[in-house]
Amino acid sequence: MSDYIEDRREQGFTLIELLVAIVVVGILAAVAIVGIAGLTNTGNKSACQASEDAAKAAASAFYANNTNQWPTSFTDMTQASPANPVNQPPVMTLASGVNAAGNTLTGPNNNWTLTGTFSAGNPPDFTQSATNGCH
């Protein structure tokens, strides 16, 4: 019997042992990929929500700096605005990769979209795209 054990040790792994090891590594890889994908999505949601909060604060600052007039677009809040009697600096600084075009604020690689409804007499209302908003 001791000859059999010595022979077995010299032969290496059995096919079953190798298959079990491959299955275990595959399961661990699948769990890791799902976890990483969730973190990326969470980051996009956080960036979108932070931009919405910044837009609300910027709209209030614009109102205070421009003799009680609300902004008419994201562009008003992100560029120096000619206010009476002096020029005011921008009240909203965009994060890297975020673009403001009229009534739309778009995240990097179009990961999220924030739309503003602007009117001169009322504070702006911000809504997120149903397909790639903060939700």
pLDDT in tens, 8-57: 556 678 889 999 999 999 999 998 888 777 666 677 777 778 888 888 88
C-alpha to C-alpha distance for 111 and 108, rounded to whole angstroms:
6
Please report which confidence band the pLDDT of residue 62 belongs to, taking 50, 70 and 90 as the band edges. Answer: confident
pLDDT reading at 84 higher than 50: no
Q: What is the pTM of this model?
A: 0.63
The DSSP 8-state label assigned to residue 85 in this structure reads: S
Q: Which pLDDT does position 38 carry in this prediction?
A: 67
Q: CB-based contacts of 115: which residues, under 8 Å, 6+ apart?
A: 103, 104, 105, 126, 127, 128, 129
Strand duo 99-101 + 104-106: pairing: antiparallel
pLDDT digits (tens, 9 = 90+) for 85-121: 445 666 787 878 888 888 888 888 778 888 888 887 8
The C-alpha atoms of residue 11 and residue 55 are separated, in whole angstroms, by: 68
Q: Phi/psi at 95 (nearest 5 deg)?
A: -70, 165
